[in-house]
Amino acid sequence: MTDTETFEIFLTVAPGLEQMLLAEVRDLQFADPKAVPGGVIVTGGWTDVWRANLCLRGAARVLARIGEFRAFHLAQLDKRARKFPWSDVLRADVPVRVEVATNKKSKIYHAGAAAQRIERALAEELGVTIVPPNATEAQSSASVTLKCRIEDNLCVFSVDTSGEGLHKRGHKSAVGKAPMRETLAALFLRQCGYDGTETVVDPMCGSGTFVIEAAEMALGLMPGRSRSFAFEHLATFDAKAWEEMRAASSTGQTAVTFYGSDRNAGAVEMATANAARAGVEGCTAFSQQAVSDLQPPEGAPGLVIVNPPYGARIGNKKLLFALYGALGKTLKERFSGWRVGIVTSDAALAKATELPFLPNGAPVAHGGLKIRLYRTDPLP
C-alpha cells in the first residue's frame, strides 16, 4: 500500500450509536462516510487513519482494511496468504495477533483452522512472531492485531490501528464502579445537542467522565493527544508527519465552567485528579453533595447529564427509585430552562423522575447491558 493509496477505514462504535458517530465523522470532514451496523465506513489513507485515532471522540476503534482475496478451502487460503503483500503494512519485528471470524455462507467455516494458516504464512513469509490467542495483557499490548473476516468466501483483512480501545484517553488513572466510557459519554453529549458552548452539570459525576469530556470539547482538545496507538508500529508509520499532526491539535479557550458533584468524597477526589491529568482543571469544578442539595450555577441554562446507578450491577434497584425521584424533583423545581439527559438501563427508573422525556433513542450495548439516553427539551 503506497502513501497516496486510499482504502476503507472502519470506525467501530457501540451498536445503537452509529448515527451519532456518523454526524461526528461528517463534522470532521472524512471522505465518503457511511453508517453500517456497528460503525461508520470512510475512505482515506494512512494520515486519515492517524487523524481518526487522534480526533474522533465517539469511535471505539479504527480498523484499516488492507486487502482481500477469495478462498474456497484451507489450502487455497494458505497459498494466497503466503503471496499477500504483508510487508507493505506489517513489520517483521512487531509481533502480530490474528483474529478470524467466519460465517455460514463460506466454505471455510472453521475460524481456528483459518487463523492457523494465516499465522503460518505470516511467520514463514514475513518472519513475524505470532501472539497466541491466550497471550498475557503485556504480550498483547506489544503487538498489532490483524483481523480477517471470511464472508461469502471472501477473506477481508484489516489492521486494528488503535491498540487499546479509544475510550482510554490516556489521562484517567482512577475510575469508580461501572464507569461510563469516554466514547459513549462524548456521543451522548452530542445526542443531547451539546456543542461546547454551554455549561454542563453532572450531579452523580463518579470519576468525572461527562464533565471532563464536555470541557475537552469546549477547549478543542484532541481526545487522543495523551496516548500511543498501534499504528505507530506499522510499516506505514511516518513519525515526523505524525508529530506535526499531533502538534497542530492546539488548545483553545473557554469562558464556560463545567460542574460535577457526587455524594461520595472519594469520587470527587478522583474526578478532580482526573480533570487535572486531562488539563481541564481550569474550567471544571467538583464538589461533594447529595442530589437533593443541587443548585444551578450562575449564568445561562445549559445541560444536566447524568449516569445514575442502574441497580443491575450496583446495589439494590428497589432503593434507587427514591434516588431517581429526588433527582427529578430537584431538576423540575430548580433547573427551569435546562435540558436533561439521563443514561439508564431501566425504563421504570427513568419514569420515576417524572421528567418530560422525548421519544427514546435506540438502545446501546454497554457492559453486557442495554442502556438508553433519556432526553428532555428545556424544562418549563
281 part of a folded domain: yes
CA angle 134, 136, 142 (to 5 degrees): 115
Cell of 263: 455524594
What integer pLDDT is reported at residue 61 of this predicted model? 98
82 and 126 assigned to the same domain: yes
Q: Select from 128, 160, 192 the last residue of a domain.
A: 160
Q: Write the CATH number for 102.
A: 3.30.2130.30
What integer pLDDT is reported at residue 308 of this predicted model? 93
171 part of a folded domain: no
How many domains does the chain divide into? 2
189 and 135 assigned to the same domain: no
129 part of a folded domain: yes
Q: What is the largest CA-CA distance in the chain?
A: 70
CA 69 to CA 303: how far, in whole Å?
A: 49
Query: What range defines the domain where residue 135 resides?
Result: 7-160
199 part of a folded domain: yes
216 and 259 assigned to the same domain: yes
Q: Look at residue 215 and give its three-state secondary structure.
A: helix
What integer pLDDT is reported at residue 174 of this predicted model? 61
132 and 196 assigned to the same domain: no
List C-alpha distances in Å: 249 to 54, 219, 233: 9, 11, 22
Helix (H) and strand (E) counts for the chain? 11, 15
109 and 200 assigned to the same domain: no
CA 355 to CA 376: how far, in whole Å?
A: 7
To which residue does cell 443541587 refer?
294
Q: Write the CATH number for 294.
A: 3.40.50.150
194 and 334 assigned to the same domain: yes
156 and 189 assigned to the same domain: no
Element at 339 (helix H, strand E)? strand 339-344
146 part of a folded domain: yes
CA 343 to CA 16: how far, in whole Å?
A: 14
155 and 256 assigned to the same domain: no
CA angle 203, 373, 332 (to 5 degrees): 50
CA 69 to CA 81: how far, in whole Å?
A: 9
260 and 312 assigned to the same domain: yes
217 and 196 in contact (C-beta within 8 Å)?
yes
CA 261 to CA 259: how far, in whole Å?
A: 7
62 and 195 assigned to the same domain: no
166 and 59 in contact (C-beta within 8 Å)?
yes
**pLDDT tens-place values along the chain, 380 residues long:** 555 789 999 999 999 999 999 999 999 999 999 999 999 999 999 999 999 999 999 999 999 999 999 999 999 999 999 999 999 999 999 999 999 998 878 999 899 999 999 999 999 999 999 999 887 777 777 789 999 999 999 999 999 999 999 999 988 776 666 678 999 999 999 999 999 999 999 999 999 999 999 999 999 999 999 899 999 999 999 999 999 999 876 677 899 999 999 999 999 999 999 999 999 999 999 999 999 999 999 999 999 999 998 865 555 677 899 999 999 999 999 999 999 999 999 999 999 999 999 998 889 988 788 999 999 999 99
213 part of a folded domain: yes
238 part of a folded domain: no
The single-letter DSSP state of residue 283 is G
Burial of 365 from C-beta contacts in 10 A (0-12 / 13-18 / 19+): middle
240 part of a folded domain: no
What integer pLDDT is reported at residue 361 of this predicted model? 81
Residue type for position 96? V
Entry pTM: 0.93
152 and 301 assigned to the same domain: no
201 and 104 assigned to the same domain: no
What integer pLDDT is reported at residue 47 of this predicted model? 97
What integer pLDDT is reported at residue 90 of this predicted model? 98
